[in-house]
Structure 1
Amino acid sequence: MEHLSEMMTFAKVVETKSFSAAALALKTSKSLVSKQVGALENALGVRLLNRTTRRMSLTEIGAAYYEHCARIMQEIDAAAETVTQLQAEPRGVLRLTSPVIFASLHLAPVIGDFLKKHDKVEVELNATDRLIDIVEEGYDLAIRITDHPAPTMVARRIAPVRFVTCASPEYLERRGTPRTPQDLLQHDCLVYQGVPALRSGWRYVVNNRDVAINVNGKCRVNNSEALIQLALDGMGIVLFPTYILGPHLRSGRLKIILPDSVANPDMSLYATYLPNRYMQPKVRAFIDHMMASIGPKPHWDVF
């Protein structure tokens, strides 16, 4: 890249179609522009431009060389714009979506603190368990809890999400405590209908082996708060993440069972967004704020 300056001058000459116009755009003299193009041709050992008193045109080699020079100039401009974007103050409306109960328990206070720090940003939050297409529906950011982020999105891992199997002391005293995932088949399990992965069965890893259990239960619910209340009332066993169950585990109203079986391994909390060339400052700032507020060791796992 020792001839970068000459390459940029040559590209500007081609774009403006004259040495005079290139000199004006580069804020230099016509003679210096001509000298730089000549030096580049001498260094390459080829003629890039055909010059006459009336017109200028690219040679065949010059046309091919210009394509590379133009791409390099675009990358230089992109690098400068990236720096500008990084330094820009977050502003505008940030549209994001999140699972309902995570939004109410943990995202709301994060948003509140974020808005206190960035008074030129507004937030529109759609709390829903429906899987939203952020391209179709015009969102900047989606909070996802998954073990496989969509390959078409950029996903920044905020924190691990730990699932536990638990029940009330009353239920365990009445029905006994399961020792293995297979023992769940003899128990009443409370099935959450809001997550497809939990409808068809509960998945564990035991001694490095995958174990899938098609659990039985009299109650299937699509509302997490109602399902937890049923568990608190001693109606069955529930499999849920600790970011929901944390307070009840700390109080002792729910007890973890199957501690040696890892439920739904590799689940994590992600901030996902479109792979745009330049991340908007408001999006970058919010993701960084989430990481600082929650990850990588979330407070809800302390019990």
Structure 2
Amino acid sequence: MDIGALKIALLVRTHASIAGAARALNIDPSSVSRTVAGLEADLGIRLFHRTTRRLTVTEEGQAYLTRVAPLIEELDAAQDDARGLRGQPSGVLRITASVAFAYRVIVPLLPEFLAQYPDVTVDLQSSDANLDLIENGIDLAIRLAPAPKGDLVSTRLMTTRYRVVASPEFLSQQKPVLHPNDLGEMNCLRFALPGLQHSWTFRRSDCPPFEVPVQGNCLFSNALALRHAACTGIGIAILADWLIDDDLRSGQLVALCPDYDCTASAFETAAWALYPNRSYLPQKVRVMIDFLRRTVHASSR
């Protein structure tokens, strides 16, 4: 059996498209189509239903590809291990992450990664939009969220915690914040995203979660801008620990209600590395995932 043909078929399944797999491989779609047709002839089954408008996996094709995918992954891993004795990962590695996470966490780690893997070129696409990995040809995404759902493969990099913070200058002009409910009467800086603008949620071991309505005269769509606004004394913000730990240590920001867990969305959140499929995972992606798992948590301390 042609291993290359199996990899192409798995890519067609991942992209749900002959053209998408061809773009990923930088080859002509007709070549992908011929390869899939030849594989189907060898197997004696149809892997995909193809029309002029869409492509879907057949029941037989799904069962077969699901079974062979882990085998292909193991073959690739063994090959990568063997090659690792002779050479280094290489090629362009396309990564996407939020603007704040890229700036605060990923970019400071790049010198160490590139020193270890000098033949890899990192294309870091910072965006607060969740870019489609398949459509944009992205190898790896870093997302800040609860446990991801869907077809993407996920690996936890670190757990995140959120804190309510403000500058000492701002707090010196306000009444003391003795309880989260006191925040409802103060100027709160908010994310301009649905579901995150009008209330924050708190909990403590001795009480169930409760919401506090918040209001304020500024909305931000970017965590870096939100942090800067809090540091300059405009108001109170809720921000991730990896973004503000240095500010808390230096005293530029002060944590309010530290006995409470807080969130604007969900309590159990983390930074996740997401990639399209375990199969046909290039060595450059594997080494970056392993590198981030070793270093991201330490870099946020």
Give the CA deviation at 1:187.
1.0
The CA distance in 2 between the partners of 1:266 and 1:254, in whole Å, is 24
Q: Is the 8 A contact 1:86 1:281 kept in 2?
A: no
Q: Is the 8 A contact 1:204 1:210 kept in 2?
A: yes
Q: Match of 2:300, SS?
A: helix
Q: Match of 1:60?
A: none
Q: Which has the larger radius of gyration?
A: 1
Which whole-Å deviations, capped at 9, do the CAs of 1:135-191 have from their partners, x for residues lacking one?
A: 121110001111131332111111111211011122222212323222211111011
Partner AA of 2:196 in structure 1: L
Q: Is the 8 A contact 2:99 2:222 kept in 1?
A: no
Q: Match of 1:83?
A: 78
The CA distance in 1 between the partners of 2:68 and 2:129, in whole Å, is 44
Q: Match of 1:105?
A: 104
Partner AA of 2:120 in structure 1: V
Which whole-Å deviations, capped at 9, do the CAs of 1:23-47 have from their partners, x for residues lacking one?
A: xxxxxxxxxxxxxxxxxxxxxxxxx
Indicate how the Cα distance of structure 1 residues 278 and 86 shifts in structure 2: closer, same or farther if over 3 A, else same. Answer: farther
Partner AA of 1:83 in structure 2: A
Give the CA deviation at 1:196.
4.2
Partner AA of 2:276 in structure 1: L
After superposition, where does 1:130-209 map in structure 2 within 5 Å?
130-193=129-192, 195-207=193-205, 209=208
Indicate how the Cα distance of structure 1 residues 103 and 72 shifts in structure 2: closer, same or farther if over 3 A, else same. Answer: closer
Q: Match of 1:294?
A: 296
The CA distance in 1 between the partners of 2:82 and 2:271, in whole Å, is 27
Which whole-Å deviations, capped at 9, do the CAs of 1:30-75 have from their partners, x for residues lacking one?
A: xxxxxxxxxxxxxxxxxxxxxxxxxxxxxxxxxxxxxxxxx99998
The CA distance in 2 between the partners of 1:275 and 1:288, in whole Å, is 16
Give the CA deviation at 1:266.
1.4
Partner AA of 1:84 in structure 2: Q
Indicate how the Cα distance of structure 1 residues 245 and 78 shifts in structure 2: closer, same or farther if over 3 A, else same. Answer: closer
Q: Is the 8 A contact 2:72 2:280 kept in 1?
A: no
Q: Match of 2:215?
A: 216
Q: Match of 2:255?
A: 256
Q: Match of 1:246?
A: 245
Indicate how the Cα distance of structure 1 residues 197 and 149 shifts in structure 2: closer, same or farther if over 3 A, else same. Answer: farther
Which whole-Å deviations, capped at 9, do the CAs of 1:108-132 have from their partners, x for residues lacking one?
A: 1222221221122111110010111
After superposition, where does 1:54-73 map in structure 2 within 5 Å?
none
The CA distance in 2 between the partners of 1:73 and 1:106, in whole Å, is 36
After superposition, where does 1:118-137 map in structure 2 within 5 Å?
118-137=117-136
Indicate how the Cα distance of structure 1 residues 176 and 74 shifts in structure 2: closer, same or farther if over 3 A, else same. Answer: closer
Q: Match of 1:157, SS?
A: strand
Partner AA of 1:223 in structure 2: N
Q: Match of 1:114, SS?
A: helix
Q: Match of 2:282?
A: 280
Indicate how the Cα distance of structure 1 residues 200 and 73 shifts in structure 2: closer, same or farther if over 3 A, else same. Answer: closer
Indicate how the Cα distance of structure 1 residues 300 and 77 shifts in structure 2: closer, same or farther if over 3 A, else same. Answer: closer
Identity of aligned residues (%): 29
The CA distance in 1 between the partners of 2:287 and 2:128, in whole Å, is 25
Give the CA deviation at 1:271.
0.7
Q: Is the 8 A contact 2:73 2:278 kept in 1?
A: no
Q: Match of 2:92, SS?
A: strand
The CA distance in 1 between the partners of 2:137 and 2:144, in whole Å, is 20
Give the CA deviation at 1:78.
6.3
Q: Is the 8 A contact 2:159 2:269 kept in 1?
A: yes
Q: Match of 2:230, SS?
A: helix
Partner AA of 1:221 in structure 2: F
Give the CA deviation at 1:81.
4.2
Q: Is the 8 A contact 1:82 1:278 kept in 2?
A: no
Indicate how the Cα distance of structure 1 residues 82 and 227 shifts in structure 2: closer, same or farther if over 3 A, else same. Answer: closer
The CA distance in 1 between the partners of 2:155 and 2:91, in whole Å, is 22
Give the CA deviation at 1:247.
2.1
The CA distance in 1 between the partners of 2:127 and 2:295, in whole Å, is 22
Gaps of 5+ in 2: 1-65
Q: Match of 1:235, SS?
A: coil
Task: With the length of structure 2 as denominator, give the TM-score of the two structures.
Answer: 0.69
Task: With the length of structure 1 as denominator, give the TM-score of the two structures.
Answer: 0.68
**Post-superposition, which runs of at least 4 consecutive aligned residues in structure 1 deviate over 4 A?**
71-79
The CA distance in 1 between the partners of 2:162 and 2:67, in whole Å, is 49
Indicate how the Cα distance of structure 1 residues 92 and 218 shifts in structure 2: closer, same or farther if over 3 A, else same. Answer: same
Q: Match of 2:149, SS?
A: coil
Q: Is the 8 A contact 1:189 1:238 kept in 2?
A: yes
